[in-house]
Structure 1
Amino acid sequence: MELFSRNVAGLWIILLECLFKTLAEEEVLMNTKAETSDLKWTTYSRSRSEWEEISGLDEENNSVRTYQICQADGSSSHWLRSKLIERRGASQVYVELRFTMIECSSRNTHHRSCKETFNLYYYQSDTDDATATYPAWMENPYVKVDTVAADFLLRKGGEKKLNVKTLRLGPLTERGFYLAFQAQGACMALLSVRVFFKKCPALTRSLSVFPETLPRSLVQEAAGQCVANAAQPGTNPRPPKMFCGEDGQWVDQPTTTCTCLPGYEASIGDLECRACPAGHFKMGSGADPCSACPDSSHTGETGSASCVCRPGYHRAPTDSPDTPCTRPPSSPRSLVPQVNDTSVTLEWSEPLESGGRSDLAYSVECLMCPTPGSPCTPCRDGVTYRPSQSGILTRRVSIWGLRPHTSYSFKVMALNGVSTLSAMEAEGETINITTSPNVPVVVAGLRKSTATESSLTLYWATPTQSHYSIQQYQLRYCEKERGSEENSCHYMESDSNQVVLSNLRRATQYEVQVRARTFAGYGSFGQAVVFRTLPDEDASSSPLLVTGVLIAMGMFLLILVIGVAIYCIRKQNHSKDPELSDKNGQYLMGQGVKVYIDPFTYEDPNEAVREFAKEIDVSFVKIEEVIGAGEFGEVCRGRLRVPGKKENYVAIKTLKGGYTDKQRRDFLSEASIMGQFQHPNIIHLEGIITASCPVMILTEFMENGALDSFLRLNDGQFTPIQLVGMLRGIASGMKYLSEMSYVHRDLAARNILVNSNLVCKVSDFGLSRFLQENSSDPTYTSSLGGKIPIRWTAPEAIAFRKFTSASDVWSYGIVMWEVMSFGERPYWDMSNQDVINAIEQDYRLPPPPDCPTYLHQLMLDCWQKERTARPRFANIVSALDKLIRNPASLKITAQEGAGPSHPLLDQRSPLTPSSCGTVGDWLRAVKMERYEESFLQAGYTSMQLLAHITTEDLLRLGVTLAGHQKKILSSIEALGIQNKTPGNVLY
């Protein structure tokens, strides 16, 4: 019933709010229907006809003052102007006109001069200074609002209907304004004029109150405030906001974060915050409703943020105010002692009542009663408790160090988180015991037999005077540096008078005590003796250490002798073999110790895979996206997370379904090859997955992808020294491969991968093959007649299929040219046959633009026709290191305009405006076609418009790369279009 009453009250409030909103939408500035006396508006006319003020009746037969006019001649204007109307802060107002108009066909006048419309104007002013002649009766200074046409016209015998028109005028900025009506040939009566403006009424919504707001623009922002008992969170909250539309209606929902305060909840459709009723609470601010008090708590007043505990119940300091109140537990039950001479073990059962809590623990109180009848005193400090005296989580405790033949009283108490808050003493179970009167004698004479780094062998004398036979010994040993900490002490039992203490810390002192046990229990521990594990002060004289040093020195001398012998043998062989002499100058690889093993030499190729590639569990790999396609399947990017290691990105090559055994063997052979290489400039193999489908090869992930596309994407963005650094990395990787008697056969920029640190690594070992060791001319002759990358391949490899490390050097020279030209295609658009013919005629690629002369000379060395005349990769690495150490040599470049030495290679023929018919043709000729759309959209539709283009213009066109800017501006100069504009300077 109470809920129903609240809902009914809420509905009434909402209805009243809506009613108030309807009544308060408009504020009238002028209404002629409410005038009872003459209006006395100003009229103006150049002819006899003019506006006439008369009394009439409106549609409800009420007396009103009206103006009417009926012109016979439409060539002259007849004006009617109101008095000054105060705008009262409104920036725009509405004018409601009620009028009647006679149809022209019903009048005895010329149809051309008859009008069925009139004009409405207004004039703003800060003072009421209008006169019969001021302002001038014309459209300027008046502002025209609209030409008003009648919807209903009066005719003879027809129905009499009036017209109602509402017009908006503004913006208004002065104190007030005049309305002016202009008739030119109309016969009409102006029955009433109502001027008003609209405003948004006061509103309460979403726990926020917004005041009455006058719209001063299309949408007016209004600031509100939270309702009573509500607030916004934070130290500097922004006030609630809502927008008032120009039509006087509130727009959309308010922007507010008002929430009810603690102890209050939202009610009546979020219009107010109501106090929580008695027996209910609300902890914090927010939209949550009030909740009933938790168990064993109450509140006797409304608007409570928390409930207080009933007598005898409490909340711990760590308990939340919305948790039930609890009380201390009852005492433990069934306390049972086990006396062992001067020690006792107590066990008990849990209490019947836990107090409603789960943080139950126990504590022990010990009292010593020396003689019957004497007062009991707390036990001395020498008494120890295991596991502890308080905060015991189990129902068992052992007490050591009691006096013999002494009475003790033990009290075990159960405690929880609110026990300290209770005024009553904690309940407990009490029991009295008496220790044994006979105690075995103390054991003495503890000695050390031997010591190592982790053990001590100890012995002691057997007591001779004992009332009982000794059943067992117990040792307590503690680390001396850690004092008497309980967790630094350990105990060990022994049936004899000798024991070995193991698992000790190296070079650490231990305090050791021993005591004996008879059937009457354990006696007291003897005097503590300190022992130390090795090494100690005299460890340097240990025979084992001396022996170890002698063995190490002997091994070192043996290794030294073997090394000298190997060096002498190699030097002697080198001097005897002229083919290996540097003076001979021949290029022969693979004559040293062979490291690389061809997986195709294995009878079972799967054995090579198992030997050189690590199998990875497929559950460790997560594929994220496909980044390309290979010969055998897709190439993906993924994550590899091996337990115990850091997660890292990997590239994943997959073998597509439906493969044959040969395809699987060829696919995994690349992993067998990569698995044998460990070099910072060779792509690293992470492992393979063959136990599930699809079969995968996992390598390290190179963020920047292939070198050729990376350079084209960053054309002109790297300095020569950075490019030389990339070339040095590639050469270092190839030097490593050549020293392993390994020929790549497909060395090209597309097969070089680049990581995020610009480190270049050799990859793609699909065409690589092993150099035969037993040949004086190590080559590989293909019997398959497969495709050969002509533009990157040495002449002897093209003609005779003879691949050596020297042919890899030729390919490396092409890679150098690709790098220095930022990914340009070698030999441009020439056919493969044209390339072969040109090379046979001893013509070579020209230096790329701005290429250092030293680097182009190194390219030409790599392109020597005689393979034995080409440098080795070790020589190339050394030459590039010298360039890096002397960067000034990189500033020497080829002569400007120097071209290739053969017409077939001359891809830089002079450009002329006639040779480039359009801007698109020119951009494609300089390989900048990506910017064609930007040039055309910017208005560069003809070659002549390029004459004054500047670097700033190129930036606006989206040409942000400095290399591309330089290429475009250089091409414009080559066209013969001179740019005279200052500021056409490249950075």
Structure 2
Amino acid sequence: MIRSLIILTFLVQTLLGVEKSLFDSTRFHGELNWDKRAFGDSLELPGWKEQSFGRKSGDVWRVHFVCDIASANPNNWLRLPFIDRDEANRLTIKLEYTIRECKRYPGEIRSCKETFQLLYLESDELYANLPSFDESNYNYLKTIAPSSEQSRSAPTSTAPASAHLGSSAPNVFQTEVELPLRAGKRGAYLVFRDQGACVSLLSIKVSYTLCPAQINNLAWFPKTPSGANLTDLVQKSGKCVPNSESKSTPIAYCQTNGNWFFIESKEPGSNCVCRPGFFYSSQQEQCIACPQGKYKSELSNQGECFTCPDYSYSKSIGSEYCPCIEGYFRIDSTNITSPCLPYPPEPKNLSVYYIDQTSIKLKWNPIDNYDKNLVQYKLECSKCIDSNDQPKSQKSIFSCDDRTKTVNILVKTTDALPIDNILTNLTAYQFINMNQIFISWSLTDASPVFSYQIRYFPKDQPHQANILALNQPSLNFTFKNSNPTIIQSNVYIFELRARTTHGWSAYTKPVESLTISSTSNLPQSTSQHYQSYDQLRSIENRSESFTVYILISVLSFLCFIVLGLTLLVVLTRSGRIKFLSAYLSKQPSDSDSIEYAKRTAQLGYNHFAASSGTTSSSGGSSPL
């Protein structure tokens, strides 16, 4: 209810303006003693006199009256005290008075008028010696005469009847007079001049009109006096209310009646709008701060504050954005409306995939359970050296997203690179029956080689490449695998490089392994393959001889058992078995010899079996 009354009062002021009082004669209850002077043919003219006057409400104040109708050519002057103009450009003088018609006077009259004059004098200061009451010293403002439209019944007076009032009460009239003021003058004196009327000045009120302080579209305009003339419009610049702004200064015009005339601009930014972190309240005509947990990022009067995105929060009121809580971040820091995400875990299984004197290749496993489109990686150099061998601060080398599996990094080096690749004739033979892959190569010169690296992978799976380091001077190597299905079901691709005094050479062109079932099918196209070919033939011949030796031994053992059993059967049927049993019982030393021979044969077989599981080559071997 109270708020409604406040809003209603504000609207009334907006429509009617504000009237500020500068002078009101009804506030004086004691002797007024205003300056006055009477001129005429009679030496003892009464002139202006004062008396108390009251209404039924009980209010009593002092009034002035004059009624010199019995004198010829009366000239009575009444001057009010100095009126300070304050901020006024124009004074409004409101008079409430009575004046009697000449035809109503009884008896003989010598001078009678039904008008009186209002004059003024603008001044910068209070005069110590006021100018004399002469028409030339004052400015004429208006001759006041009653009209039928102004008349109304006179209020009952509490004062005793005066001689000029007669037996019947006169009508009371009201009038307003506008007095434009010149700039630079502090105030004015008002003067009433009577020349034979019967007048009572019941009240004299002086005021000026103000356009009140008002807020329109978040622009505050201070109270402004109306213009000096009735047609004037006083332009006033406004200011945006706190927590709002505009690109241009708001403008309004104060009208004569105290009402503001606002001009609504259609240009963007010309009106006041709430700053980020504040929303517009039409009821309060101000910008209100967003509460905790909400934000507003735009400069506008549209909408209210938004709730903070996921995993973000504003701890203070009036927030333009919501920062992410600890442990969360935004992919695009400029997009404050996007939700915050948890920091991704560090890359897993980070390893060096390739390295030489000019480049490094890294690889890692992708992050699980995370949006790969939102992940970016950044590699920084923790210790960088400039061209003068001086340490530099940490420097970012590259950035990439989660779809990158391998990163190539160029490394500046002073080492000279070999002009040509020193490796040639890389060949790979895949033996199905031996479950092995034999590779060999040649060198183009006699440069010392410290080590080799073999990169290999199944033909249909290039992303599963492996690297094998060889610290050996030989020119061949053998791959083995205990699972024969691996080699038999895949065709492999091989690449080779060497490290010399000049650093690492480039990898050779990829070579596909040749699948062969026997060394009889091994090609001998060039003399450079002879050494590798002889080695392979030697390996296969040893393997074949070893196999034949085992077969012969097994067959001989079986034949010996069959022969023994046959001999035993023949002897039993011939009746000589008893003789043999007696013989054996008589030869204990010979029996010991037989047992010893059996143990020797068994040990020899075990040793043979153990050696049969090992195959060597002149270069080396590694499982696939």
Give TM-score scaled by structure 1 length: 0.33
Larger fraction in helix: 1
Please tell me whether Structure 1 or Structure 2 has the larger radius of gyration of its CA atoms. 2
Query: Looking at both structures, which has the greater relative contact order when contacts are Cα pairs under 8 Å and sequence separation is at least 6?
Result: 2
With structure 2 as the length reference, what TM-score do the two structures score? 0.50
